[in-house]
Amino acid sequence: MSRSTKMLLALLLIAGVGGAFNYQRNVAAEARQLRPYRSYSDADLTALLAAYRADADQLAERYVAAKQARSKVRSGGLIDEQVREFERVQQRGAQVRDAGAQISMREADIADMEREMRLREQEQNRLMLFLRRVATL
């Protein structure tokens, strides 16, 4: 064997070992990823995503309505009436904040489901998945 052939074989061997190492490392990293919707079938995930989007729309409408319905503070009266009025206004503000928090949680769930669907689409092309696992550092 010539010297250039030996160098080429050594280079191919190093590239093969490095690729195998990268592949195993990337498969293990993918297995550790947090994918809460991994076990759902495609049909179930699509149906759940549609339901969550409809629910998010309803929550958004309720939030907008709650935010626009301002509490009118009634002044005057005795101290205990003023305290009750303060508590009523505080409770109304808490309801608006809770509605906003529910929307945020629902939107985060929707984003997780969309991410899962994108990952599934990428996994459909086996050749590109293999190449990404081998070549990604």
What is the residue extent of each domain of the chain?
39-124
User: How far is the C-alpha of 43 from the C-alpha of 38, rounded, in Å?
Assistant: 12
pTM of this prediction exceeds 0.95: no
Report CA torsion sign: 102, 103, 106, 111: negative
Is a pLDDT exceeding 90 seen at residue 122?
A: no
Q: What is the mean pLDDT of residues 32-39?
A: 90
pLDDT in tens, 70-85: 666 666 678 888 888 8
Residue 74: the pLDDT is 67
User: How far is the C-alpha of 116 from the C-alpha of 59, rounded, in Å?
Assistant: 23
Residue 43: the pLDDT is 95
The rounded mean pLDDT for the chain is 88
